[in-house]
Amino acid sequence: MIYKLYFDGSCKYKNDGSCDMGMGAVVLDSRNNIVYEQGWNTPAYDHKDDNGILSNNVAEYQALFRGLDALSVKRPDGISELEIYGDSKLVIEQVQGNWKVKAAHLKKYRDSCVAQIKLYEKEGCRVSLEWIPREQNKLADRLAQNAADGMEMHSNQLYDERD
């Protein structure tokens, strides 16, 4: 079964120097039906947390990781192909290994995403990543923006398209 995962992250800075981070992930089945969508919020933290600097790049990585994680928990088998789409060129290229990770605080995020992808591949799933323009990532972008504004959206359950 083929699934498509769209992810996006957003970091909205406040006047006090803190930021609200939002992450969004949308999963489509082979008929392009939405089978899972979720927005996650990390509210008003300083620019630093225990993982380093909070930024749009961190939010993008977290969105990808959380989308991969949610999909593996909700649908651990039956995925023959996973197409991953995001509008962060940096995240897509670094996860593919085409670009070096120059910012030390991003390395652990990249490594976590790569480890998740390797788990899919170990189970026989073909995984591909592709950069897309923001205009083609509207659903995940909306979830990330809303989550950064404090409107977390909890998902519908993944279902088997044969159900």
CATH homologous superfamily of domain 2-148? Ribonuclease H-like superfamily/Ribonuclease H (3.30.420.10)
Check pLDDT > 50 for residue 163.
Answer: no
Numbers of helices and strands, H then E, in the chain: 4, 7
Higher pLDDT, 66 or 1: 66
Nearest to 157 by CA among 65, 36, 69, 7: 36
Mean pLDDT, residues 132-149:
94
**pLDDT-based confidence at 158, cuts 50/70/90?**
very low
Mean pLDDT, residues 21-25:
93
**pLDDT-based confidence at 14, cuts 50/70/90?**
confident
Q: Where do the domains of the chain lie?
A: 2-148
- Is residue 130 within 8 Å of 92, Cβ to Cβ? yes
